[in-house]
Amino acid sequence: MSGQPGEHTDPAVAFEAAKLGVWTFLATEVLLFGALFTAYTVFRIKYPEMFRAEHAKLDRVLGAVNTVVLITSSLMVVLGVDAIKRGKARLLEAYFGATILLAAVFLLVKYTEYTAKFHHGLYPDTNIFFSLYYMMTGLHGIHVLLGMGVLSYVIVLSRRGRLSEAWCTPAEMSGLYWHFVDLVWIYLFPLLYLIG
Amino acid sequence: MAHGTGQDRRTGIAVFVALLLLTVVTVLVSYVDLGLWNVVVALLIASAKASLVALFFMHLKGESRLVWGFALFPIVFLSLILIGTLTDTMLR
């Protein structure tokens, strides 16, 4: 993804190819999370009362706070990509830095939530609702962590002067991935915290 | 690779505000007992938010039909998985 187009490659073609590559990757991600959403649907239909009772044990205020944190982080990515398209590398680094900071806040909130649940004896093997809760938010958390790595890499590229208004594909592609991570949480939040 | 414009930033901030408002609405609605409608409303709002993110943040709005195809085909497959699994588990 760092690869600048070679001298024989049209930058516009390279950009389109990278974009289709990321969308293909995101397609596999939809199916990865999709399997868990399917499991959620099956068990929610099978045990509606249990889901109703168990989901009330989650803190929907903390869930909402994390939703706002991720939405804000997505806006930072939008503004960062917009900055590099205007040739402002330092501004891109600041916005992507803010995104990484917000991602850390998200994980910190998630950590306090997990800790609180453990204190109340709610573990991944407590019941099928909490199995799904830990599995889905855990897999999503790993994606947040990976996203932080990818965004850091883009900042490094930018600091090395490798990004400009003429070539900012890595910034745009990492943005696509980050928005997808936000998008998954947009579904996880109501399914787990609001309607169980 | 369109160059950044003030329009991009204005759209981004408008979508951001819409996402915040929809989040507030979905949390408030969750405190009201609507029976089965709680699920319907929550999923409709989540899908509205997801559409905003995909169309504007992920630029799907201005994309070619090829990219739209790449974006939609996993959703078709996910529907197949859901429908197939549910017809099995519910009719067993």
Query: In this predicted model, what pLDDT tens digit does every residue of A75-91 receive, in sequence order?
Result: 999 999 999 999 999 99
Considering CB atoms only, which of A81, A175, A195 is closest to B39?
A: A195
Residue of B12, B16, B74 with shortest CB distance to A31: B74
* Residue pairs between chains A and B whose CB atoms are closer than 8 Å: 130
Q: Do A183 and B54 touch (CB under 8 A)?
A: yes
DSSP secondary structure string, A118-171? HHTT--TTT-HHHHHHHHHHHHHHHHHHHHHHHHHHHHHHHHTT---SS--HHH
Please name the amino acid found at residue A177. Answer: Y
pLDDT, position B35: 87
pLDDT in tens, B20-69: 999 999 999 999 999 889 999 999 999 999 999 999 999 999 999 999 99
B68 touches chain A (CB under 8 A): no
pLDDT at B79: 96
**Domain spans of chain B, in order of start:** 1-58, 64-92
> For residue A177, what pLDDT is reported?
98
Of A71, A182, A187, the CB nearest to B20: A71
| Token output for B30 | 């969750």
Domain boundaries, chain A: 33-194
With a cut of 70, which residues of chain A have pLDDT below it? 1-8
- Which has the higher per-residue pLDDT, A148 or B1? A148
Question: Residue B6 — pLDDT band, cuts 50, 70, 90?
Answer: confident
Residue B4 has pLDDT above 60, yes or no: no
Chain A CB within 8 Å of residue B74 CB: yes
Alpha carbon of B64: minimum distance to chain A alpha carbons (Å): 10
Q: What is the pLDDT of residue B1?
A: 46
Which positions in chain B touch A176 (Cβ < 8 Å)?
58
Q: pTM for this structure? A: 0.94
Please tell me which of the candidates A67, A187, A195 has its beta carbon nearest to residue B30.
A195
Q: Which of residues 24-53 of B touch A (CB under 8 A)?
A: 26-27, 30, 38-39, 42-43, 45-46, 49-50, 53
The reported pLDDT for the residue numbered A97 is 98
- In chain A, what residues touch B42 (CB-CB under 8 Å)? 190-191, 194-195
Which residues in chain A are contacts of B70 at CB distance < 8 A? 20, 23-24, 27
Cα–Cα distance measured from residue A53 to residue A123, given in angstroms and rounded to the nearest whole number? 16
CB contact under 8 A, B42 and A74: no
| Residue contact B26–A41, C-beta within 8 A | no
Amino acid A30: pLDDT: 97
How far is Cα B59 from Cα B8, in angstroms, rounded to an integer?
10
CATH of domain A33-194: 1.20.120.80
**What is the spatial distance between Cα A45 and Cα B18, in angstroms, rounded to a whole number?**
31
Q: Give yes or no for a contact between B23 and A64, defined as CB atoms under 8 angstroms apart.
A: yes
Can you give the C-alpha Rg of chain B in angstroms? 17
